[in-house]
Chains A and B, each alone.
Chain A
């Protein structure tokens, strides 16, 4: 798979080349070129901010259409817990899970179930593995992992080296199907994630901490939502006793969909949970400067309020979180007491490595020279960060110039200065028209 595959695409018809998205991108990964926004692949972390901010709906998340279901003989749904927060008046998770079965899935495996196992393992690691750096940073939000990879290399070692619940869920679900139906080939089985977020699409198609993801397709919560609604109405009418029990997770797993959920499952008070990409960056900056070292765990979610705020959801994230709180009220703390053998592979298989995309050159003295030029160019720019050049800030334009991707005259103020210079040159030149071409009444230059 390609190294820089992302979950955001551009509808060029709709893109008006405004500067909303370039301003919002936390890694300065977007430029406007030839009137259209374009993403610098290596810098994109899939946080979805550009999709959220685009008023023309020109930035689109990539995921699979519901029709993908037909490709598989045996289909397993992996619903993210954020799904449960989307429905009003829902008081029994089994209603949603059964609706997934009615929709056409053959089996359901809750991501929340795997989340409980990840929490369980995290608790053990924090108690036993004293060699791990302190504090640990959650690795469940793929946008955060990618952000750390490009911007905070010194914090890579703090990442919890466990696969995210979705990956664990996929493996466990697959193992369950393969045990029950040995007649099916891998290709006939479809492990399908019902996702709140686009970053997780990239994480399954182009995973960082494992060679291959077992997730075969990703559906958006907002796509499947209306279909589930209609099935849910029918199921709800059956009466609770007659609804088949499918639910496989307790409070702990379900709470993972909101900011702070993963932390509370660690049964320690000594944590910090930050949500929203800008807050996440602030926390990482602090951590990088050796502040916050007294904490045991840091939970970071790129989306405001946590995964319930993912771009593929329907409901306002705060409303969704309140619903989840009500839903979980009478639920057991956890439903997962697995033996070691039942658990899928949980640790990272490949380490997540630093990706030095911000470096100006791989040669230090060349980088120093470029930085010198960058500074000179920047000193000459107006410092308005107006975005008219297609770069988010004057500093980014200066950086693009030294990297060779832009010209100083892309700055409209610089351009104006050039044009003014040209105009005065033209005027001066005009005075030097040779005598044969001069108008009869025009005096020689210098004469009155």
Chain B
């Protein structure tokens, strides 16, 4: 049984232009593992949306990825403002993004719904003023 592959990414909240780099790097790894296109697509979209949220709403954080023979697990952790009403935040179209963030093309309120759509398991732990941790799992199926 091979060991699980663990990867760690630090997401900077300083530089918007670098948002999405970690998911691009993970994508490369998944490709080298030879995972199917649909799995790669799902994992990278789920992680991308989470990564962007961390940069835009929470001033950065960390992402830990664990890959084993059955699934890809993602833990996205930040110490940002937290989400007070998670159910509301999960609704399509709900967004608190500022005007300047919207002008960059974010803020459609589709990030969290997309993460749920592309993952097989998703859980959000959030405490206002303390931070947010998002857990996601994507099963590899027949891989």
Among the interface residues B3, B34, B48, which one has the most CB atoms of the partner chain A within 10 A? B34
CA distance A365 to B2 in the complex (A): 6
- Interface positions, chain A 125-184, Cβ under 8 Å from B, are 151, 153-154
Could you give, for residues 8-44 of chain B, a 1 whenever the CB lies within 8 Å of some chain A CB and a 0 otherwise?
A: 0000000000000001100111011111011011001
- With the chains together, A157 CA to B48 CA distance in Å? 23
- Tell me if A372 and B2 are in contact (CB < 8 A): yes
Interface residue? A359 (CB, 8 A): yes
**Residue A285 at the chain B interface, CB threshold 8 Å:** yes
A70 CB within 8 Å of chain B: no
| B44 A289 Cβ-Cβ under 8 A | yes
- Give the dominant DSSP class at A's interface: helix
CB distance from A102 to the nearest CB of B (A): 52
Contact flags B37-74 to A (C-beta < 8 A → 1, else 0): 11011001100100000000000000000011100000
**A153 to B, closest residue via Cβ:** B37
Residues of A within 8 A of B104 (CB): none
**Contact residue range for chain A?**
20 to 34
How long is the Cα–Cα vector from A306 to B91 in the complex, in angstroms? 43
Q: Which residue of A lies closest to B38 (CB)?
A: A154
Q: Determine if B7 is an interface residue (Cβ-Cβ < 8 Å).
A: yes
Q: How many chain-B residues does the 8 Å CB contact rule pick out? A: 27
Of chain A, the residue at the smallest CB distance from B143 is: A364
Q: Is residue A371 within 8 Å, beta carbon to beta carbon, of the partner chain?
A: yes
Q: In the assembly, what is the distance between CA of A153 and CA of B7, in Å?
A: 24
Decide yes or no whether A41 CB sits under 8 A from chain B.
Answer: no
Q: Which residues of B contact A366 (CB under 8 A)?
A: 2
A299 interface residue (CB < 8 Å to B): no
Contacts of A288 in B (CB 8 A): 27, 41, 44
A337 CA to B105 CA, complexed, in Å = 42
Binding site for A on B (CB under 8 A): 1-3, 5, 7, 23-24, 27-29, 31-35, 37-38, 40-41, 44-45, 48, 67-69, 140, 143
Pairs of residues from A and B, 7 with the lowest C-beta to C-beta distance, nearest first: A359-B34, A154-B37, A369-B2, A367-B33, A368-B2, A153-B37, A365-B2
